[in-house]
Amino acid sequence: MPDDVEEVSQIRVVHLLHTMDYGGVETVIINWLRTLHPGSVDISIVCFANPGGTEQLFVEAAERAGFNVETIPWSRRKPILKSAKSLVKILREHRAEVIHTHNTYADLVGLVAARRLGIRTVSSLYVLSSFGWKRKTLERMTLFALRYFDCVTAQCEATRRDICAGGINSEKVNVLHSGFEAAAPPLEESEREERRRKHGLEPHHVMMINVARLYPEKAHASLLREFRKINDAHPDTRLWILGRGPLEEEVKSLCTQLGLDDVVRFLGYVPDFDELICLADIQLHPSFTEGIPMAILSGMASGLPVVASAVGGIEEVIENDVRGLLVPSAADDGFSEAFYKAVTGLVEDVEERRRLGNAARRFIENDYSLENAALTLENIYRKLITA
């Protein structure tokens, strides 16, 4: 190495998370970690081992990305101090300089352990939704803990504003975009039609896709009710729903009640849903609250026109009528009319779908790269340990 080039020291970081399923947040974390330069940041991952093994999908995904995941026993009793003691041992073994936490209980356990060892702390918050009393309670706990962190990252400007409004010092809150990799080039039309045919789709079908966990804030009931009207007007439309969650049986029952079983498919959890997104014509994402969903970024990267609710950080990536279409929150009175108009307009206009989809793909490639997000994260770590 030339004498005038300063060697950059490797930063030792432990990530701690409490995951109940595999979704957008877990995908974001793995994407960041596999993109960080290994010569600059040494990464270790720890997660809570939940009753029922709900963390296993994340563990498997992390292992596929080349990471070993250590676990700390967890239970419904929420053993904060006991878990912090186990974490202290792990942090010492890895000689950690920074602990980076994700989710409320990880924040609490990580903060206790870090205070004991005197290491730097980062917490990432993806959305403040206040959706339901339990979520509100957890978010109050989160905001209390964040007051004592050295740094907080927000997935988007909207979440940053919410964090600061919750009493957190704005000087330590940084926007850290999830970033996204450019998708593979579009399939040749003949190959795309062949793949669609294998899934029961004919060339005249307009296939729509929704990728979201089956949780209340994802507005699946509103989606199905609106799709009933869309399909009545355009019988060639089809809908695939990818995701699972506590509302699965309720949502499937509503689908049956609405008479949609022949035109709606529930595909459950799909690890590599990019292979299915590229077969769709339109992506639908109504919701009540969001950060910036990874599912939307995936659709945009694949060149899909997206119809989404203008909530949370979605407006930061979808400019209305430029690289997608925005409609009100699914909770608003104007949602139904706006959603129907936006979707049916795209069903009827192939060129409009192409225009919006191409602009969305260019945005991901040029302005929302995963490499930039990883560099921002590395700079956050480096500033912390040199402060």
The reply to whether 341 and 228 lie within a common domain is: yes
In a domain, 93, yes or no: yes
Query: Which domain range does residue 291 map to?
Result: 189-367
Sign of CA dihedral 87, 92, 96, 97: positive
Question: Which band of pLDDT confidence, cut at 50, 70 and 90, is reported for residue 1?
Answer: very low
The reply to whether 219 and 93 lie within a common domain is: no
Angle at 184 between CA 241 and CA 312, to 5 degrees: 50
pLDDT of residue 7: 59
Rounded CA-CA distance 37/132 in Å is: 39
The reply to whether 378 and 335 lie within a common domain is: no
At which residue do the structure tokens 């995701």 appear?
A: 243
Mean pLDDT over residues 48-58, rounded?
88
| pLDDT, mean over the chain | 94
In a domain, 357, yes or no: yes
Counts of helices then strands in the chain (DSSP H, E): 15, 13
Sequence length of the chain is 387
The reply to whether 378 and 276 lie within a common domain is: no
Query: Pairing between strand 11-17 and 69-73?
Result: unpaired
The reply to whether 328 and 373 lie within a common domain is: no
The reply to whether 350 and 205 lie within a common domain is: yes
Rounded CA-CA distance 34/30 in Å is: 6
Distance of CA 372 to CAs 13, 35, 44, 295, 365, Å?
19, 10, 21, 19, 11
Work out the percent of the chain whose per-residue pLDDT is above 90: 84
The reply to whether 204 and 220 lie within a common domain is: yes
In a domain, 2, yes or no: no
Please, which residues bridge with residue 69 across strands?
Answer: 45
Q: Is the pLDDT of residue 5 over 50?
A: no
Domain count, the chain: 2
4: amino acid identity, one letter: D
In a domain, 184, yes or no: no
Q: What is the DSSP string of 14-78?
A: EEEE--SS-SHHHHHHHHHHHHS-TTTEEEEEEEEE-TT-TTHHHHHHHHHTT--EEEEE--TT-
The reply to whether 205 and 113 lie within a common domain is: no
pLDDT of residue 130: 61
- Cβ–Cβ < 8 Å for 110, 87: yes
Please state the pTM of the whole predicted model: 0.85
Task: Tell me the Ramachandran region of residue 211: left when phi exceeds 0, alpha when psi lies from -120 to 50, beta otherwise.
Answer: beta
Tell which residue, 294, 355, 299, has the closest CA to residue 322: 355
For 142-146, 181-185, 300-304, 358-362, which range has the lowest pLDDT when averaged over its residues?
181-185
The reply to whether 63 and 82 lie within a common domain is: yes
Mean pLDDT over residues 258-279, rounded?
93
Q: 81-89: long-range contacts at Cβ-Cβ below 8 A with a sequence spacing of 24 or more?
A: 81/112, 83/48, 83/109, 84/109, 84/110, 84/112, 84/113, 84/116, 85/113, 87/16, 87/46, 87/113, 88/113, 88/116, 88/117
pLDDT, tens only, 270-327: 888 888 999 999 999 999 989 899 999 999 999 999 999 999 999 999 999 999 999 9
C-alpha torsion angle, residues 60, 63, 65, 66 (rounded to 10): 180
CATH of the domain at 362: 3.40.50.2000
Q: Is the pLDDT of residue 242 over 80?
A: yes
The reply to whether 174 and 242 lie within a common domain is: no
Rounded CA-CA distance 238/3 in Å is: 63
The reply to whether 353 and 377 lie within a common domain is: no
The reply to whether 193 and 118 lie within a common domain is: no
Q: What are phi and psi of 204, to 5 degrees?
A: -80, -10
Rounded CA-CA distance 16/99 in Å is: 7
In a domain, 6, yes or no: no
Query: Pairing between strand 120-125 and 282-285?
Result: unpaired
Tell which residue, 19, 97, 100, has the closest CA to residue 60: 19
- Cβ–Cβ < 8 Å for 212, 218: yes
For 71-75, 185-189, 226-230, which range has the lowest pLDDT when averaged over its residues?
185-189
Mean pLDDT over residues 332-351, rounded?
98
